[in-house]
Amino acid sequence: MNRTETMAREVTGGDRRAVARAISLIENEEEESNFLLSTLFPFTGRGYRIGVTGPPGAGKSTITNRLAKHYRREGLKVGIIAVDPTSPFTGGALLGDRIRMTDVELDSDVFIRSMASRGSLGGLSRKAKEAADVLDASGYQVILLETVGVGQSELEIARAADTTVVILVPESGDGIQAMKAGLMEIADFFVLNKADRPGADQAVQSIKTILGFRQHGDSSGPMWMPDVVKTVGSEGKGVAEVAALIAAHREFLTASGGLERRRRGRLEQRIRDLVEEQLQVDFWNSHRTGALQRELSRVVDRDQTPYDLAGRLIADFKNQSGERSEGHHE
């Protein structure tokens, strides 16, 4: 049994240190990471993934921390992936979220990992999704994916989670602005945190007004109507209601077939991403980079267009791939 197979066996056996090593392997893009993920894949699909997102300062870490404690009281194993902005100095994750979660980090059935977003648009990189697979394979029943709130591209978390919770605060401003940021589109429900502050009731009303104009689901089944829950995360108020709404949404998805559709769509997107990534690597590795550099001056001089050059590079690649394929058949 090689090192990766041993690690996979330890991960599925619930070994915390093996889980940490496996996630590091994935983060560092080590050669054997794909083999590890392939080995773990049959053991995934049991953990329920909850996305927690919203604008900076909304209290995402506090709510995540409180939810983790709630699920632990129910006897569930909890994994937390906190996706932080990439540090401009080290490329690593900033550990502010870890510091705020110290009270659950000491629990042996809670696993917390901060990961750098590495410039990924939604703040949730592919590595974070793969880390969630590792936690899933290791028997964590609830996986909380907390991500930086950066607006439009937050859609990325909706693809990674079974239930997506968007956290806002009274100061988040006009509900229309939140909708423009794309957050209104991806939420399965909303949490208005810091609801003891002035303007909380108006903010709830504003969100509900916007929701009245939103389409809820698709024509293939019953509709889910997103709700708004008020919380004071620092005091733990409203967290049980958040957990109850997550449970209700999970029940709705399971009964309506929505959970299966979401997970199927997620796997389809994963396969598309992997194919695109591999094709891109193959494309540029097959002498395309040299051809680009040779021809670039003609584009700079306006003797040919970027579209013409791109088309020629792709045509050359297809011809080369076709020749290789014919060679194999012979």
**pLDDT, average across residues 31-39:** 93
Q: How confident is the model at residue 310 (pLDDT cuts 50, 70, 90)?
A: very high
User: Measured between alpha carbons, how far is 189 from 165 in angstroms, rounded to an integer?
Assistant: 6
pLDDT at 152: 47
Per the model's pLDDT, the better-predicted residue between 186 and 169 turns out to be 169
pLDDT at residue 149 is higher than 70? no
Which amino acid is it at 259?
Answer: L
Q: Calculate the average pLDDT of the chain.
A: 84
Stronger pLDDT, 271 or 116, i.e. the higher one:
271
Query: Worst-scoring range by mean pLDDT, 21-25, 149-153, 156-160, 209-213?
Result: 149-153
| Separation of alpha carbons 77 and 107, rounded Å | 10
Q: What is the structure's pLDDT at 96?
A: 47
Helix (H), strand (E) at residue 97? helix 96-100
Beta-carbon count within 10 A of 255 CB: 11
Dump pLDDT digits (tens) for 208-227. 887 776 655 555 567 888 89
Q: Which pLDDT does position 138 carry in this prediction?
A: 98
pTM of this prediction?
0.86
What is the rounded distance in angstroms from the CA atom of residue 72 to the CA atom of residue 78? 7
Q: Mean pLDDT throughout 205-209?
A: 86
Kindly state the percentage of the chain with pLDDT values over 70.
Answer: 80
Q: Are the CB atoms for 321 and 327 separated by under 8 Å?
A: no
143 within 8 A of 48, measured Cβ to Cβ: yes
Whole-angstrom distance, CA of residue 196 vs CA of residue 156: 31
Whether 177 shows a pLDDT value over 90: the answer reads no
